[in-house]
Amino acid sequence: MSTKPIVLRLGTVRYAQEAWKELEKVATVIVSESKNREEFIKDLQTKYSQVQHITRTFDSANETGLFDKELIQHLPKSLISISHNGAGYDQISAPELIERKIQLSNVPEIVDNATADNHVFLLLGALRNFGHGRQNLLAGEWPSKGNASGAPIGHDPQGKVVGIVGLGGIGRTILKRLQPFGFEKFIYHNRNRLPEDLEGGAEYVSLDELLSTSDIISINIPLSPKTKHFFNEEKFSKMKKGVVIVNTARGGVIDETAFIKYLTNGTVRSAGLDVLENEPNVNKELISLPNVLALPHMGTHTVETVKAMEEHVVKNVENVIKTGKVISLVPEHKNIDFTK
């Protein structure tokens, strides 16, 4: 048996091959061959039974399913850490891992710039009705439908209030990206007010005030049992008529049934979406609406960001091997004693 710690890799590596080669100097790397959840659970008890560290990608859930209570119960006793390649880790039950004394890391900050750039693109596109115009253009309705192929006339940033729900790392980067465009005011709501030096000039308000006064609502909250369908019938009913909604966080924070209702009754004038609740099995009714500009989850879809994310996953594994601790513990795991 190898004296090196064993790392089980779930999912593909696109650009960080050199980093993985370096890791192989201090660890034995096994690439998962499990084809489905049932086979993966069986393999955890057999050929993966001595694994000490697991790395995973978002897409690896297609083979393993969610790292929920059921699966976590089958993880080998030898397992020390799980390093997830992504900022959002809603596919993994962090509390269940605490009970097993298994550390969970994610990839924060590295995703901020690419996600914010995507958010700004969607925000401006929704504000200007670019999605509607493109849809009509592809349908051959220009010039038959007149100017801009019949798309409703859009709006400029001037005079508009942007309400940011979730002024964390990504939210603050979005704020910085938007400030030069000339919006009138930025307001935000978090569970708690941030220190003034982190607010970036945005004003802290109650959620109800944000919903009722924002011309544009920027959604940047993680998905958890507490935030699932956070934006629901009640929240939409409190919004200013004609609001623009942009979501690059997680699709599940929006109740899509209620969303469609308010997109079609005029309360929500338009939306820019990079995430959808059941992606990749998307709600066709939602994405087909002319006032919805939707993308297939492309927030971090750049060579530079993907490579940096993959390399950070390797750094988490290297660090836990050398020091016993991953670099970027998820918030729920901070201040927890993981000694076995």
d(CA 64, CA 42): 11
Residue 229 is a catalytic residue: no
d(CA 131, CA 122): 9
Tokens of 212: 């009722």
Residue 279 is a catalytic residue: yes
Active-site residue, from 250, 269, 312, 333:
250
CB 65 within 8 A of CB 42: no
Q: Give Cα 140 distance to the centre of its chain.
A: 35
Q: What are phi and psi of 222, to 5 degrees?
A: -75, 160
d(CA 267, CA 241): 4
Whether a cis peptide bond, with omega within 30° of 0, leads into 143 is: yes
d(CA 89, CA 191): 20
Collapse the DSSP code of 213 into the 3-class scheme (helix H, G, I; strand E, B; otherwise coil) and give the result: helix
State the DSSP H helix or E strand holding residue 127, giving kind and residue range, or none if neither: helix 112-127
Task: Name which of 25, 92, 30 is nearest 57 in CA terms.
Answer: 92
Place of tokens 């080669």: 21
Half-sphere exposure at residue 261, Cβ-oriented, CA atoms within 13 angstroms: 12
Active-site residue, from 297, 311, 312, 318:
297
The single-letter DSSP state of residue 215 is S
Task: Quote the strand ranges of the chain, DSSP E.
Answer: 6-9, 28-31, 53-57, 81-85, 103-105, 161-165, 185-189, 203-204, 216-219, 243-247, 268-273, 292-294
Q: Which amino acid is at 298?
A: M
The residues annotated with a catalytic role in the active site are: 250, 279, 297
